[in-house]
Chains A and B, each alone.
Chain A
Amino acid sequence: MYSKELLKGTLNIIILKLLAHNGKMYGYEITQRVKVLSQDKIQIKEGSLYPSLHKLKDEGLVKTEEEMIGNRVRKYYSLTEKGKLSTKEKDNELQQYMGTLQNIILNQSPAS
């Protein structure tokens, strides 16, 4: 399990990438999908997921559509056009950041 701090900075891009790959997803589905893909190493807490989803919706990056499941409402989240562009940008940024991080960590020689 990764620390909360590591997850905090990457939660939005995880959500956006999942939606980009899967089209539309509901909250519980996102948590389960992340669990499977990360082999239980990342567990998104409900207390972090929904505030982030609502923030993304407020920013116009994701939209929702409602569906009745039995006797309750299920909200499916999917990317808006703005969200798709933003996902690409954030993805590039993250790739570059991971590359930079890798350079720093791998090329760091021990102090002599």
Chain B
Amino acid sequence: MTLTQFLVDLIKGDLRQNGIELRDLQDDLVDHICCILESENQNERPFEEVYQAAKSDYFSEGFREIQEETTTLITQKYNNMKKAMNIIGLSSSVLLLLGSILKTMGTAPANELILFGAIGLTLGYLPLLLKIALKQTDLFIGKFRSISGFIGAELFIIGILLQVLHYYAGKEILYTGLAIVIMIFIPLLIKSTGTEFIAKLQPASLAVLLLAVASTFFAFSNKKASSHYLGQLVMVHENLDRTVDNNLHRLTALREDHEITPISVKTQDIISYVDKLKEHILNSIDAEDSSHSLTPEIVLMDNIFISDIMVHNQKNHPYNGQELLQKLTELITLIEDNGDLSSESILGTETQDSWLTENFQNKTLYSAYSRLTQLQLDLSTLELEFLNQ
């Protein structure tokens, strides 16, 4: 008896469903099973019955065991690579976890540890894992599963890195990686290994997985803490701004009762100039944002500097630090002529040039912006003192 194409396909399908992913092994087993069934030559019994009997007689430990034993023997020569891979994976995950914990505590060298951990996982562990995984399957779906897992995990770790280091695309990359792992890799893994897929993972891979999950947890808790911290910084600036508004309100009332003096004119001129300067700074960051106020996103921008506006006075900046400094110097001259007021609160005791450099050169956007608001507060307070004399 020779089995029909339909029955051969049925056997092939059953083998595939039971974890035989190496094409050579699949061909061997199909032929072997066909030989057994043909030698039984029991035409009177239904195929399904004969097939199940042959399976339990000859393959009592299941097809999957044969695939696993074969891949174990074939990948034996990669044992050193596997050891190296596991060492890299474990040490990188520990670095990532430690870095994430230190980050939440705001302790150095958190960023360096996270960076080294992420490099170890993305450039060391995962490529080696992919190389070994691709050796264990010839099926398109198997290769697709391994590659999707690789890409998902790579994006996931890069996402954690960017997220923890406060770069913008971090969250999107992290979620994309997570989506690929959850929606493509894990369903395909469960489909090929059954529900025992966690038990099938190597202890080292499982440890790497757990550490990566723990790092994610810390990354997110750190993000939450950072959001809270950023919110507090915004509030500090809002309070400063509110105090300036109160001073200006009081000044409006006081100015009505006094004669207009050059100091009042100059003070108001500078406060207005600083308002425009601040607006210009925010516009240079995001021209479409019309709120003209500090947000947590702006506070986050620790790599955007406004030295070119404030220190270098480029021609294309209508409002700039050099002009502000000139106005402040003129005010100081007026104050010194008056004799009853101290100009120290405005520029401090530094030289004029160093005031710009020290307050605005390589300072974060938040720091520089807050310094300008502080200047408005100092000026309004000075005028209040002057008018109250």
| Cβ of B5 to closest chain A Cβ, rounded Å | 4
Cross-interface CB contact of B66 among A28, A51, A58, cutoff 8 Å:
A51
Give the most central of B5, B30, B34, B72: most A CB within 10 Å: B34
Task: Kindly identify, within residues 132 to 185 of chain B, every residue whose CB is under 8 Å from any CB belonging to chain A.
Answer: none
Residues of A within 8 A of B74 (CB): 54-55, 58
Cross-interface CB contact of B28 among A53, A55, A69, cutoff 8 Å:
A53
User: Contact size class for A?
Assistant: 20 to 34
Residues of B within 8 A of A75 (CB): 24, 27-28, 31
**B65 touches A (CB below 8 Å):** yes
Task: Kindly identify, within residues 28 to 74 of chain B, every residue whose CB is under 8 Å from any CB belonging to chain A.
Answer: 28-32, 34-36, 58-59, 61, 65-66, 69-70, 72-74
**A9 touches B (CB below 8 Å):** no
Using A28-B35, A72-B34 as known contacts, say yes or no to A50 and B5 having CB atoms under 8 A apart: no
Residues of B within 8 A of A48 (CB): 69
- Secondary structure of the B contact surface, majority rule: helix
CA distance A54 to B32 in the complex (A): 15
The residue in chain B whose Cβ has the minimal distance to the Cβ of A73 is B27
Tell me if B70 and A27 are in contact (CB < 8 A).
no
- Secondary structure of the A contact surface, majority rule: helix
**B2 touches A (CB below 8 Å):** yes
Residues of A within 8 A of B30 (CB): 72-73
B-contact bits for A66-102, CB 8 A (1 contact / 0 none): 1001111111000000000000000000000000000
Tell me if A54 and B58 are in contact (CB < 8 A).
no
CA distance A47 to B59 in the complex (A): 7
CA distance A27 to B22 in the complex (A): 16
| Cβ of A72 to closest chain B Cβ, rounded Å | 5
CA distance A66 to B35 in the complex (A): 16
Tell me if B73 and A46 are in contact (CB < 8 A).
no
CA distance A70 to B8 in the complex (A): 10
Tell me if B31 and A27 are in contact (CB < 8 A).
yes
Residues of A within 8 A of B65 (CB): 47
Residues of A within 8 A of B24 (CB): 54, 57, 64, 75
| Cβ of B75 to closest chain A Cβ, rounded Å | 9
**A52 touches B (CB below 8 Å):** yes
Using A58-B74, A66-B27 as known contacts, say yes or no to A46 and B59 having CB atoms under 8 A apart: yes
Tell me if A28 and B36 are in contact (CB < 8 A).
yes
Tell me if B70 and A26 are in contact (CB < 8 A).
no
- Of the A-B pairs whose beta carbons lie under 8 Å apart in the complex, a sample of 26, sorted by A's number, is A27-B28, A28-B32, A28-B35, A46-B32, A46-B58, A50-B25, A51-B70, A54-B25, A55-B73, A55-B76, A58-B74, A64-B24, A69-B34, A70-B3, A70-B8, A71-B5, A71-B8, A72-B3, A72-B31, A73-B27, A73-B30, A73-B31, A74-B27, A74-B31, A75-B24, A75-B27
A interface residues with partner B (beta carbon < 8 Å): 26-28, 46-48, 50-55, 57-58, 64, 66, 69-75
